[in-house]
Structure 1
């Protein structure tokens, strides 16, 4: 029996995954968590073999900090990321740290079960779509010395936010200019920090300039 914890800030998604997995006699969901603190409590109360972990909690950096906590405090627990983020910079970052699995939320039940079994057996498992992205990226990198090894792919909105940050706009000013909420701006800022692997906006601007993103 493989004991699982599902951690995601979307209740409906967690319940849906639990419903899917409950049909497999070899899998047992021992905990459902919707917040960072709930995950920490759950890990103390319910011994598990694997945690299915989203990266956004609700911000990307929250999930990564939680991952660091798990690595240090629950070293025997295996982590499979189950997320919507398909950015190679994020995938490589978490897998380098020791992540055992990486799946997108649109994965099939069959692949999810396959990944759980593989990770439980001590193997690593990366979603087929992500593997293909990595292979394509590696081929391009070999063909051109001008393509950075960890090329960062930004959405149009992230590019706008990055430019406005470099221009000195405040969060409120960016939200007003782009006609979005403050929460949306914070989400994009957080995503940029993760993708560029920097701790603050000063280094974000410096790194973006060095990599010709500004």
Structure 2
């Protein structure tokens, strides 16, 4: 397996240096970009290929929220994003997942869990800790949203097959694994995934799962 190329973006020099040292000890990981704020990171990103970003939220020049929104809007590179933060407020975490973060970890996370999160996000596009999953379940309250003058009910406007595929996506199965489980081709599964994301108005797997759990479309 090729090493997973990482970027570490944090304005606290001591924390960033320690994190880089820990990550580079792994045979599977390599930090190829460091930055002290979002603007510096985006400038460097244009000339560097990145697989996964470890992104601080509170930075003086383009914070983690702004960087995440810009990356997902631009779409020029689509690296996976793991937010590292000391914030544990429910709405704050949900917002970051819904705008496109692939995972959310508190800064006191154990190094072994951090490495596991990086590998899961790289391979499957998503990593939720038990804490983050509980946050989403606690907020599973919105069942409908108004669109074009009428209410769109997510549970009834997704087909049975789409709900089945959505549930398997939320359990972390890959396209190939889902195809095997539901006896469809991978291409058909990808088609279902695309239609589900279009119906729900989300743009990547992590935001899809966050939305599904928040809106009580599936249970975990």
Structures share fold, TM-score greater than 0.5: yes
Does the aligned pair in 2 maintain the 1:6–1:31 contact within 8 Å?
A: yes
Structure 2 residue aligned with 1:172: none
- Scaled by the length of structure 2, the TM-score of the pair is 0.58
CA distance in 1, matches of 2:60, 2:26: 29
Structure 2 residue aligned with 1:69: 70
RMSD of aligned residue pairs (Cα, Å): 2.1
**Which of 103, 106, 115 is equivalent to 1:104?**
106
CA distance in 2, matches of 1:92, 1:64: 12
Displacement after TM superposition at 1:55 (Å): 1.1
Does the aligned pair in 1 maintain the 2:71–2:78 contact within 8 Å?
A: no
CA distance in 1, matches of 2:107, 2:135: 16
**Which of 14, 17, 31 is equivalent to 1:15?**
17
**5+ residue gaps in structure 2?**
143-220
**Which of 23, 26, 35 is equivalent to 1:24?**
26
Does the aligned pair in 1 maintain the 2:69–2:100 contact within 8 Å?
A: no
1:201-212 aligned within 5 A: none
CA distance in 1, matches of 2:100, 2:70: 13
Displacement after TM superposition at 1:138 (Å): 4.8
**Which of 120, 125, 132 is equivalent to 1:130?**
132
Report the 3-state secondary structure (helix = DSSP H, G, I; strand = E; otherwise coil) of the residue aligned with 1:125: coil
1:105-120 aligned within 5 A: 105-120=107-122
Report the 3-state secondary structure (helix = DSSP H, G, I; strand = E; otherwise coil) of the residue aligned with 1:14: helix
Does the aligned pair in 1 maintain the 2:4–2:29 contact within 8 Å?
A: yes
Structure 1 residue aligned with 2:46: 44
- Scaled by the length of structure 1, the TM-score of the pair is 0.59
Report the 3-state secondary structure (helix = DSSP H, G, I; strand = E; otherwise coil) of the residue aligned with 1:53: strand
1:92–1:138 Cα change, 3 Å: closer
1:134–1:76 Cα change, 3 Å: closer
Report the 3-state secondary structure (helix = DSSP H, G, I; strand = E; otherwise coil) of the residue aligned with 2:46: helix
Does the aligned pair in 2 maintain the 1:104–1:127 contact within 8 Å?
A: no
Give the number of aligned pairs.
139
1:58–1:128 Cα change, 3 Å: farther
CA distance in 1, matches of 2:41, 2:66: 12
User: Is 1:91 matched with 2:93?
Assistant: yes
**5+ residue gaps in structure 1?**
143-214
Displacement after TM superposition at 1:75 (Å): 4.0
Structure 2 residue aligned with 1:58: 60
Report the 3-state secondary structure (helix = DSSP H, G, I; strand = E; otherwise coil) of the residue aligned with 2:63: helix
Displacement after TM superposition at 1:63 (Å): 2.3
